[in-house]
């Protein structure tokens, strides 16, 4: 049992170090399709970093990461970030919205640009709830997400989100 605990602890520590190594691209240009392809791996790493780094850590880097990811998503010819206020009641919270966009971006880029609205909304919402649960003290105003956290805990969040699409 101690060996298993040691392995899990080692994996957690190494993952934490890996997620901290992400460097936000500087002087990036996102104009033509080749630009987006050039920064795909950076966008995936950025999404991972945003979703895995606690909200109260590295605030300056987080702001730069948000700017890069939002620039990438909003200009990308291949990523369609569909937002539905009924299925995503956290749209008025910047941190949770960016976590949702990070989740969608990563899935789109790692699944050959598939834009499955239902699947990505469900998975993105699950990622938002996980992030919220880990960062409750630092999230700020997010009353509507509490209902989603309860549904997630009960195991009914996926069905609820699908019913709102």
For residue range 103-126, list pLDDT tens digits in order.
999 999 998 777 788 888 999 999
pLDDT(61) > 60: yes
pTM over 0.95: no
Is the Cα dihedral 152, 156, 159, 163 positive or negative?
Answer: negative
Count of Cβ atoms closer than 10 Å to residue 36 Cβ: 18
Categorize the per-residue pLDDT at 5 as very low, low, confident or very high, splitting at 50, 70 and 90: very low
Instruction: Report the range of poorest mean pLDDT among 17-26, 48-57, 148-157.
Output: 17-26
Categorize the per-residue pLDDT at 13 as very low, low, confident or very high, splitting at 50, 70 and 90: very low
Q: Is 8 left (phi over 0), alpha (psi -120 to 50) or beta?
A: alpha
Contact 103, 51 (CB under 8 A): yes
pLDDT of residue 86: 82
């Amino acid at each position: 049992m101690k060996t298993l605990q040691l392995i899990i602890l080692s994996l957690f520590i190494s993952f934490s170090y890996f997620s901290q190594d992400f460097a936000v691209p500087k002087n990036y240009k996102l104009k033509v399709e080749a630009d987006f392809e050039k920064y795909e791996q950076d966008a995936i790493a950025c999404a991972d970093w945003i979703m895995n780094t606690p909200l109260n850590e590295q605030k300056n880097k987080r702001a730069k990461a948000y700017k890069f990811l939002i620039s990438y998503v909003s200009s990308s010819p291949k990523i369609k970030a569909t937002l539905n206020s009924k299925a995503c009641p956290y749209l008025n919270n910047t941190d949770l919205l960016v976590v949702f966009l990070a989740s969608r971006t990563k899935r789109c880029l790692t699944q050959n640009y598939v834009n499955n609205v239902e699947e990505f909304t469900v998975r993105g919402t699950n990622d938002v709830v996980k992030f919220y649960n880990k960062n409750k003290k630092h999230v700020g105003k997010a009353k509507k997400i509490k209902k989603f956290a309860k549904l997630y805990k009960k195991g009914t969040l996926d069905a609820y989100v699908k019913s709102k699409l």
